[in-house]
A and B are shown apart, each in its own frame.
Chain A
Amino acid sequence: MSPLTDAAVERLRIAAHRPQMPSDRYAITGEIGRGGMATVYAARDTTLGRDVAIKVVNAVASPASEERLAAESRVLARLEHPGIVPVHDAGRLLDGRPFYVMKRVHGRTLTDYLREESDLGERLRVFERACEATAFAHANRILHRDLKPDNIMIGAFGEVMVMDWGVAKSLDSSVMGSGVILRNSKNDSRPHYKTDHGTVLGTPGFMAPEQAEGDVDDLDARADVYSLGAILATMVVGDVRALRSVCARAMATNRDERYPSVAALREEIARFRAGRAVAAHQETALEKAGRIARVYRMPILLVLTYMTMRALVAIIAGW
């Protein structure tokens, strides 16, 4: 036999790396993504004839990661919402590691989406959908705690999904623990878990200050409000001062100065999209006139056209 090529070795490594499912129902077809704690595989549900995604704890991950994954599947099972990926099944591999099966989302991350979509209105629609999913989780007493553009997916038909609930915190302690996200550095996006108070290195930009400081027991929905504000800041294009003010309020260092809930933040964005004034921004007279002009552009254009025509008729009649 001739020596295996480098490419063949890599393909075999991937083939050998595939988890051993407890039955032949799910046939792994590829690898979607690999993190420090878990790997997500593309698979085919041969019973129902549909594509699915399977998340499996890495063998080299810490034992606590197994419990985190099991807890994540329980959290997702509680959150039945169009903006949250549904769990179809859960179990253990032949080697004992937990896994869960979820809907396969065909789409792109918000990070990729923003590179291609420049329309502010469309971007804000996506943001509102992400807010709705997060607000639904909050209504079920679940905090996401790791909201960032890479954890929001936009599907082929414009559907928006909030992904990766692996570090979510339940405000009901019976559901899951109260781990804190730890990251080694800005470039290391792998989450680690630690429940000790006050020992957190945060990912700059998307983590609320109180979360980064390790206030494990005291986190509330406003931590996710901060993250969504940071996400919004990456989505706003141009000098839209009202939206900048919304971001600033959502990302206030003092959480008492933030929006009290994600629902309140979403309503603020809805007001902006409807052309109404946002609470976070004190408009100047010029800004107010501009906003009204944008909202009532068509009636104003019709009136101006009518007045111009009347003026022309009057001038012609005067001759």
Chain B
Amino acid sequence: MPGFPATRHSVIERMRTADEGARGQAFGDLVHGYWKPLHRYLCLHWHLSEDEAEEATQAFFTDAFQREWLARYDPEKARFRTFLRVCADRFVLNRRQAAARIKRGGGVETVSLEAQGELAAELASQPDAESLFKREFVRALFERALHDLRTECEHADKGLHFVLFERYDIEPADDVSYAALAREFGLTQAQVTNNLAQIRRRFRECAIDALRSLCASDDEFRREAAELFGVDPT
């Protein structure tokens, strides 16, 4: 699975290393994991069009990479996901204010994204925005895990496992049952049961791997894993 760190080093730790290649790889992981949720969040919360949100997401990550302010994240203050969302909120606000100044004939002034004081605190306390971004984060996490799982199943000649997973857990018909799937695919009910148990276990492992690469610290990773999957990954 590309991009997943082999060790428990967090994405932020890797972005702080002296190795430029490792920093770039870490940033790539971060963009890969947060692009979709951020893009959807900007559409839903800031009511940007698809194109506007794509451009804003691109600009946001470019700014973050060039100015390296994500590496200055402090885990004592907030979880990384919240920090990123607040930064994105501020980024959109900055751009809107800059656009308004240009319209009025003034110059462009921006403030530091990670030094927003009261405004950041205010945005962070918005439960709707936080839950919206979390929902999109989880959706993107699961999509990524599903993509990895599908690829893995195809390579391991376990396509049927994935089909059963799709048919029972992802988009089930109203009358789906183990017995009905067994009849349809010429399996015993016990085989359906076992195949689904295996694929669910593997899905969780894929999702946990994906989650690990997106958390800023081991502590945050453990808390997120417990919250999302009910497991302590230590």
Binding site for B on A (CB under 8 A): 1, 3-6, 8-9, 11-13, 15-21, 24, 27-29, 39, 44, 46, 58-60, 95, 97
Contacts and interface: CB of A to CB of B under 8 A. Distances in A.
A39 B230 contact: yes
Contacts of A46: 190, 193-194
A92 to B, nearest CB: 13
27 contacts: A1-B143, A1-B146, A1-B147, A4-B146, A5-B171, A6-B135, A8-B170, A11-B172, A12-B146, A13-B142, A15-B203, A15-B204, A16-B200, A16-B207, A19-B230, A20-B231, A27-B196, A27-B197, A29-B178, A29-B193, A44-B193, A46-B193, A59-B229, A60-B226, A60-B227, A60-B230, A95-B232
B121 to A, nearest CB: 27
A47 to B, nearest CB: 10
B63 interface: no
A4 B197 contact: no
B152 to A, nearest CB: 15
B143 A4 contact: yes
Contacts of B229: 16-17, 59
Given A8-B171, A15-B200, A46-B193, A59 B143 contact: no
A59 B196 contact: no
B170 A4 contact: yes
A4 B230 contact: no
Contacts of A44: 193
B232 A12 contact: no
Interface string B130-143: 00000100110011
Given A16-B229, A59-B226, A59-B232, A9 B138 contact: yes
A21 B200 CA distance: 12
B228 A13 contact: yes
B215 to A, nearest CB: 16
A79 B170 CA distance: 41
A165 to B, nearest CB: 22
Contacts of A20: 201, 204, 231
B13 interface: no
A39 B231 CA distance: 12
Contacts of B200: 15-16, 18
B128 interface: no
A18 B204 CA distance: 9
A12 B230 contact: no
A3 B143 contact: yes
Contacts of A9: 135, 138-139, 142
B169 interface: yes
Contacts of B204: 15-16, 18, 20
A11 B230 contact: no
Nearest 8 A/B pairs, CB to CB: A27-B193, A16-B204, A60-B226, A15-B169, A59-B226, A17-B230, A15-B200, A59-B230
Nearest to A17: B230
A24 B197 contact: yes
A282 B204 CA distance: 64
B139 A4 contact: yes
Contact of B169 (A1, A11, A59): A11
Nearest to B232: A59
A95 B138 CA distance: 22
A53 B225 CA distance: 24
A28 B143 contact: no
Interface in B198-234: 200-201, 203-204, 207, 225-233
Interface in B167-200: 169-172, 178, 190, 193-194, 196-197, 200
B194 A27 contact: yes
A11 B146 CA distance: 13
B143 A16 contact: no
B193 A12 contact: no
Contacts of A21: 197
A305 B170 CA distance: 71
Contacts of A19: 230
Given A16-B203, A17-B228, A46-B194, 10 more contacts: A8-B170, A9-B135, A16-B229, A18-B204, A21-B197, A24-B194, A27-B196, A27-B197, A60-B226, A95-B233
